[in-house]
Amino acid sequence: MKQKWSQEELTCLLAQSDEAFLPVLEAANRVCEANFGKEVKVRALLEFSNHCKRQCRYCGLNCRNRKLARFRMEPEQIVETAVEAADCGYQTIVLQSGEDSFYSVEMLGELVKAIKAARPKLAVTLSCGEFKAADYRYFKECGADRYLLKHETSDETLYQELHPDSDFGQRLACQKAIKAAGLETGGGFMIGLPHQTLAGIAKDLLTVASIPCDMAGVGPFLPHPDTELGNEPHGSATLTIRAVALLRLLLPKANLPATTALGVLDAAQKDKIFCCGANVIMQKVTPSDYKKLYQIYPAEFKSLSITEGRRQVEEEIRRLGRIPV
């Protein structure tokens, strides 16, 4: 199966019947297994602050949501949690937050340094939003390995509507700066945003490939009741799987997670995605009291210790005939 498509070709592929699309899913699985075997990488996700200065209209953390109780973990507690995750077998931790000005660039750098000093082998991914190019270089100097910043949607008009305080050009410039800083670059986008089209999703796929992203998360949009988009329908799980399968063919070696949002929408589809190109899963290691407040979209969360969470996710992966690493 070919691996270079135009936007028009990708749009047609996305619109196919289930039967016609099946060969793409099968090809994605073959390419994924050729690169990663049956292995699924398990990564720890620590959501350390839900304060955010931005107004992204789909996100429950946006600063206009006054109903949300806000929390912020102390740097010491973040480092302790990262150390605990490493000691439970995680080799990567993703530190994610809203755009919280409390954590200056220097503080984030110090956090990375402290984690690296305590557990040098733990790969650290930051996912804290938009910064200047020099700041991404500084994170790299402090020891950060990766940075995750999704482009969210490449439809520029839609991007503008959804992000009153940013623009698409700026978002892409950030991704390019992350790449230029020598950080592994994580991107991705949402499926099913209001007014999004299949041609728009085709462009999203090409955008991820053009960076090119080293990892990319594609998840369905889930309406949050305390946002302006609270009454909109959620994105399609089928289309999410199709987008991940096509991304696997466009970027054979990229790390493609089964996003948490897909699991929240439909657990069975989340299982299926590991046979359609996905090779990564993120497991939350956020302390329980905070996990329920990190509401980018509504979801139920179990309160589990880091060890128990790790055990459960490994079990889940083995049940699917895959090998957790």
Residues that bind ligand SAH (CB under 6 A): 58-59, 96, 98-99, 127-129, 149-150, 152, 190, 219, 221-222, 224, 261, 296-297
Give the nearer residue to ligand SAH in terms of CB position, either 58 or 103.
Answer: 58
Do residues 216 and 256 lie in contact, with contact meaning Cβ atoms separated by under 8 Å? yes
Strand partners, 93: 44, 124
Amino acid at 283: Q
Q: Residue 184: phi, psi to the nearest 5? A: -65, 135
Give the nearer residue to ligand SAH in terms of CB position, either 81 or 119.
Answer: 81
Strand ranges in the chain using DSSP code E only, listed in sequence order: 39-49, 92-97, 123-127, 146-148, 184-191, 215-220, 257-258, 280-284, 323-324
Give the nearer residue to ligand SAH in terms of CB position, either 246 or 261.
Answer: 261
- Smallest gap from Cβ 218 to ligand SAH, in A, equals 9
**In this structure, what token pair is assigned to residue 68?**
């949300």
Alpha-carbon distance of 292 to 299, in angstroms, equals 8
- Smallest gap from Cβ 258 to ligand SAH, in A, equals 14
Write the burial class of residue 266 (CB in 10 Å: 0-12 exposed, 13-18 middle, 19+ buried). middle
Do residues 63 and 54 lie in contact, with contact meaning Cβ atoms separated by under 8 Å? yes
Candidates 136, 191, 163, 150; CA nearest to 55 is 163
Give the nearer residue to ligand SAH in terms of CB position, either 32 or 229.
Answer: 229
Give the nearer residue to ligand SAH in terms of CB position, either 21 or 103.
Answer: 103
Give the nearer residue to ligand SAH in terms of CB position, either 73 or 149.
Answer: 149
Do residues 49 and 103 lie in contact, with contact meaning Cβ atoms separated by under 8 Å? yes
Cα dihedral 128/132/134/138 (nearest 10): -10
- Smallest gap from Cβ 252 to ligand SAH, in A, equals 23
Q: In 10 A of CB 323, how many CB atoms?
A: 13
Give the nearer residue to ligand SAH in terms of CB position, either 17 or 231.
Answer: 231
- Smallest gap from Cβ 284 to ligand SAH, in A, equals 12
- Smallest gap from Cβ 259 to ligand SAH, in A, equals 8
- Smallest gap from Cβ 193 to ligand SAH, in A, equals 9
Give the nearer residue to ligand SAH in terms of CB position, either 11 or 227.
Answer: 227
- 305 three-class SS: coil
Do residues 127 and 95 lie in contact, with contact meaning Cβ atoms separated by under 8 Å? yes
- Smallest gap from Cβ 265 to ligand SAH, in A, equals 9
- Smallest gap from Cβ 309 to ligand SAH, in A, equals 19
Cα–Cα distance list, 235 to 64, 205, 221, 230, 289 (Å)? 23, 16, 5, 13, 28
Give the nearer residue to ligand SAH in terms of CB position, either 152 or 314.
Answer: 152
- Smallest gap from Cβ 315 to ligand SAH, in A, equals 26
Alpha-carbon distance of 246 to 199, in angstroms, equals 14
Do residues 297 and 223 lie in contact, with contact meaning Cβ atoms separated by under 8 Å? yes
